[in-house]
Amino acid sequence: MTIFRKGHRWAVKWGPVVEADLSDRHALKQAIQQHNVGAAIHFAPHAYVGESVYEPAATFTTNVTNTLDLLGALLDAGINHVVFSSSCAIYGAPNAIPISEDHSKQPVNP
């Protein structure tokens, strides 16, 4: 199952597509139940530097508040297996590639 508001339908290769907003807790719960979800992979949809600078509230709402809505719906359904991927810009200019998780955090934008 894929839930998205932005993105490319052609990129969904496995499972059904459910179009919903992460702030719609009812839609989340319904999709989780209908498709017998056992785990989630969440890619925060606002990742562009420009968006975070020019629309910080919208970026925060999507990346933080709506993520909490998703996590709440998953927990309500007894699901505790989640992979969360957010902004790649948290590390700033990396000292080495690949970037390890213990790399210093020097974000270059909000």
Specify if 106 maps to a domain.
no
Assess if residue 109 is contained within a domain: no
Within-domain flag for 96: no
> Domain tally for the chain?
1
- The answer to whether the peptide bond before residue 56 is cis (omega within 30 degrees of 0) is no
pLDDT tens digits, 23-53: 888 999 999 999 999 998 887 666 667 777 8
Round to whole Å and give the CA distance between 99 and 110. 20
Domain of 59, CATH number, reads 3.40.50.720
**pLDDT tens by residue, 51-92:** 778 888 888 888 888 889 999 999 999 999 998 876 666 777
Expressed as residue numbers, the domain containing 57 is 2-87
pTM: 0.71
